[in-house]
Amino acid sequence: MIPLQQVWPDELARLYRERGYWRGETFPGFLRERAAEHPDRVAVTGGDGTSWTYGELFSKAETNAAGFLALGLQPGDRVVVQLGNIPEFLSVVCGLFVAGLIPVYALPAHRLTEIVHFAQKSEAAAYVIAERYDNFDYRTLAREVVAAVPAIKNVIVVGEAEEFVALSSFKANAALLPADPSPSSVAFLQISGGSTGLSKLIPRTHDDYIYSFRASAEICGLDADSVYMSALPVAHNFPMSSPGVFGALYAGSRVVMCPSPSPETAFALIEREKVTITGLVPPLALLWMQAAPKTSYDLSSLQILQVGGAKFMPEAARRVKGSLGCTLQQVFGMAEGLVNYTRLDDPYEIIVETQGRPISADDEVLIVDDQGNPVPEGEPGNLLTRGPYTIRGYHNDPGANSRSFTEDGFYRTGDVVKRTPEGYLVVQGRATDHINRAGEKISAEEIEDHLLAHPSVFDAAVVSLPDPFLGEKSCAFVIPQGEQPKASELKAFMRTRKVADFKVPDQIVFVSEFQTTAVGKISRKELRAKLRADFLEKK
């Protein structure tokens, strides 16, 4: 098994400890502490009203830890977790932490292709699902996963397990529980947005991740009276850690798991649970702002609406206060590390016009041209970063590591930003070819590969097009071979490839050729840019 690691140079690790960022905390350690400090305070509430106290959450985590280990899993083994916004998400992943097992976070939208990739790349030994979520039966998917990846020896199911193992069958057994893991060890693998090809795996350590959500909770002013609602799928880094469910648990707040971000479901929960803070991607923020003036639900408890994952346009940002009556916080982050926030007491213009500034004084931010030279202050350039919670490399991916990191360990974010005189970042665009579809990052290359597998596709290039609601939508330019297929046929074909539904192209445009000869040999990236520009010009 390829060992998991995340290595900062000694002198930086020393500095991050000296400055108090890395405090030697671990997930099991802080969860145990909270359970001892306020055992009877509610930690998490589900959409159906199920509530567990901090004491109950930790005791469920310990039971689950023993259950996983009793199946024969060994500390260090990887476990793919595909659960939606239900309280069991927390009892399962906290159980894995207590057992020293390593969760690999998949989204509920992922299907066979993605799960097999995560399982193989992480060398996973088990897979945790819910019986159903969003009208999909995950046991059907699990059967295909097990057939494709024999190393997955156990499937654990929240709900009716059929031939698999029911989470509810796990029994407490303190004798099985190992000592807490080392704070500098990798706690879990997060999934990257995947700008080239399939998603990469992001190893995050206890030390670095706990720092990021502890500091985030402080920036967002979370305390025992706060109620944080996860409206986005909780496996995303944003609702998990910015400050997310873990920042909320760290601060002793209450977490609400919202099963759908639709205004109907979310507004009802905000009223019922007196939610004080939640985070959304821009398209959902637009929906909520549209629905709020007409709703009969009482949203007055909501103090902070965070918006991030994709650019929130200033005109939309200016409407938040009037329609939802709360403070806006812009969040520009990435699962690889660096997170920027507008601060709650920032001047209004900074809150609506910028994507915030880094969490840490020791987040190093470089803005450089394509040759790697710093651009003049205030000019747009490529954002490079390193710091106390930004990874130094992906798991098991030397190719991606040489592309995505500089020799001195800066992560190439792929984002084009400029910096204001006050040190705030404004996202201008990006240098990489992915589609940011309502916050879900889709790799152009990955979709092109799927389309090329169709017998009537000679070539395909996938680009992003502006969309008033989604921000960006995906458009595939396809050169047919033989008889031209229907667009609907290609979309249906994409679904047979067993990928997340958000990867099916929103639009398909058939062309007879890519006019590459006129410009000589051009790169894939230039081709995509040209197709996009020509198409938008013709419209």
Positions that interact with ligand J2J (CB under 6 A): 193, 237-238, 241-242, 308-311, 330-335, 339, 355, 413, 415, 427, 430, 436, 439, 441
The DSSP string of 505-534 is -SEEEE-S----GGG-S--HHHHHHHHHHH
Distance of CA 176 to the CA centre of its chain: 32
Q: What are phi and psi of 441, to 5 degrees?
A: -90, 130
Confirm if 105 and 118 have CB atoms less than 8 A apart: no
Shortest Cβ distance from residue 436 to ligand J2J (Å)?
Answer: 6
Give the pair of three-digit tokens for residue 370. Answer: 């394509």
Q: What are phi and psi of 448, to 5 degrees?
A: -60, -45
Separation of alpha carbons 199 and 260, rounded Å: 24
CB of 185 to ligand J2J, least distance (A): 21
To ligand J2J, the closest distance from the beta carbon of 86 in angstroms equals: 21
- Tell me 259's DSSP state: S
Nearer to ligand J2J, 158 or 499 (CB): 499
Q: Which is nearer to ligand J2J, 64 or 212 (CB)?
A: 212
Minimum CB separation from ligand J2J for residue 279, in Å?
7
**Beta strand extents in 360-454 (DSSP E only):** 364-368, 381-386, 411-419, 425-430, 434-437, 440-443
Instruction: Considering the complex, state which of residue 81 and residue 191 has its C-beta at the smaller distance from ligand J2J.
Output: 191
In the DSSP assignment, the letter for residue 421 is: T
Residue 207 CB contacts under 8 Å (≥ 6 apart), including other chains: 16, 21, 22, 23, 24, 25, 183, 184
Question: Rounded to the nearest whole angstrom, what is the least distance from the CB of residue 413 to ligand J2J in the complex?
Answer: 5
196 vs 413, which CB is nearer to ligand J2J? 413
DSSP 91-156: HHHHHHHHHT-EEEE--TT--HHHHHHHHHHHTEEEEEEESEETTEEHHHHHHHHHHH-TT--EEE
Nearer of residues 91 and 241 to ligand J2J, judged by Cβ: 241
Cβ of residue 219: shortest distance to ligand J2J, in angstroms? 12
Instruction: Provide, rounded to whole angstroms, the least separation between the CB of residue 53 and ligand J2J.
Output: 27
Q: Which is closer to ligand J2J, CB of 185 or CB of 330? A: 330
Residue with Cβ nearer ligand J2J (307 or 451): 307
Distance (Å, rounded) from C-alpha 430 to C-alpha 452?
26
Q: Considering the complex, state which of residue 64 and residue 342 has its C-beta at the smaller distance from ligand J2J.
A: 342
Q: Which of 95/193 has CB closer to ligand J2J?
A: 193
CA proximity to 47, closest of 372, 267, 280? 267
Task: State the nearest-atom distance from the C-beta of 119 to ligand J2J, in Å.
Answer: 20
CB of 36 to ligand J2J, least distance (A): 29
Distance from C-alpha of 41 to C-alpha of 158, rounded to nearest angstrom? 24
Q: Shortest distance, CB of residue 146 to ligand J2J, whole angstroms?
A: 28
User: Shortest Cβ contact with ligand J2J: which residue?
Assistant: 333
The dihedrals phi and psi of 94, each to the nearest 5 degrees, come to -65, -35
Query: Which of 287, 522 has the CB closer to ligand J2J?
Result: 287
Q: Where are the beta strands (DSSP E) in 219-301?
A: 227-230, 254-257, 277-280
